[in-house]
Amino acid sequence: MEYYNKQFCIEVWGDYACFTRPEMKVERVSYDVITPSAARAVFEAIFWKPAIQWKVKKIEVLNPIRWISVRRNEVGKLMSDKSEQIFIEEDRQQRAGLFLRDVAYRLYAEMEFIPLRNRNRHETPDELKDQEEETILRSTENPGKYNAMFERRAKKGQCFNQPYLGCREFSCNFKLIENPEKEKKRSIEETRDLGFMLYDMDFTDEKDPKPMFFRVQLVQGVIEVPPIESEEVRK
């Protein structure tokens, strides 16, 4: 059976965002725009199943790139299975961060259907199960049903987890753009080379995932995201 991937567009916006540069070890400094991995995470927060994967194709920057410098309190330790407790007052650290503010993007991504024989995982985690959706899928499984599920959830504003812009405290609003051509919004009129940006993590070896990067060209407020298998993506 031949499968066809469908492309969706969602618009996201929020007061603050931080897509942290991995080379900044101490202070949090954001990339100029949302990364493909952060865009993928927004789609997955709305809808994800083991039978699909999201491939980000294009990012439109709707608001001018604005910055804000903030000092905030963070906990300097991570909780582990061996640690009994963390005393926040003792392990609190104040760090400066350079974040984005008043951001808005249109994100375009394809929902790719994965045939059963090619899946790494076959069970949906309990926290991502929707009884109505599970009932629908029990009869027959096909890409059309998954497309319809995403559209239904996005139209209603439903999500498995609250989508966020880089950091969990920077939650965002979202809406489905059913016809981007008819519901056009002008991107910022800015063209420049944004340098290398984190593309995503390569989970070929799940125990040791590796970062992937690509060179970002912002052309009249639009970023075309190359396919993961292209030479533009450096692994």
Q: Cα–Cα distance between 208 and 229 in angstroms, integer? A: 19
How does 122-152 read in b/e, with b if 16+ C-beta sit within 10 Å?
eebeeeeebeebeeebeeeeebeebbebbee
Helix (H), strand (E), coil (C) string for 22-86: CCCCCCEEECCCCCHHHHHHHHHHHCCCCCEEEEEEEEEECCCCCEEEEEEEEECCCCCCCCCCC
Q: What single letter denotes the amino acid at residue 104?
A: A
Give the model confidence (pLDDT) of 137-187 as tens digits.
555 677 888 898 999 999 999 999 999 999 999 999 999 999 998 888 899
Chain segment 112-139, per-residue pLDDT in tens: 988 766 666 555 555 555 555 555 555 5
Q: Report residue 221's pLDDT band, with 50, 70 and 90 as the boundaries.
A: very high
Distance CA 221, CA 225 (A): 13
DSSP state of 188: P
For the residues of 150-170, what is the DSSP string, one character each?
HHHHHHHT--SS--BSSSTTS
Identity of the amino acid at 233? V
Residue 161: how many other CB atoms lie within 10 Å: 14
- What domains sit in the chain, N to C, each tagged with a CATH number? 6-73+93-186 (3.30.70.2660)
pLDDT of 18 reads 95
Task: Supply the pTM of this predicted model.
Answer: 0.84
Residue 197 CB partners (closer than 8 Å, separation 6+): 31, 35, 213, 214, 215, 216
Please give the structure tokens belonging to residue 71: 């000092």
Measured from the Cβ of residue 89, the count of other Cβ atoms closer than 10 Å reads 6
Helices first, then strands: H and E counts in the chain: 4, 9
What confidence tier does 96 reach under pLDDT thresholds 50, 70, 90?
confident
Q: Is 80 exceeded by the pLDDT of residue 36?
A: yes
Contact yes or no for 104/13 (Cβ under 8 A): yes
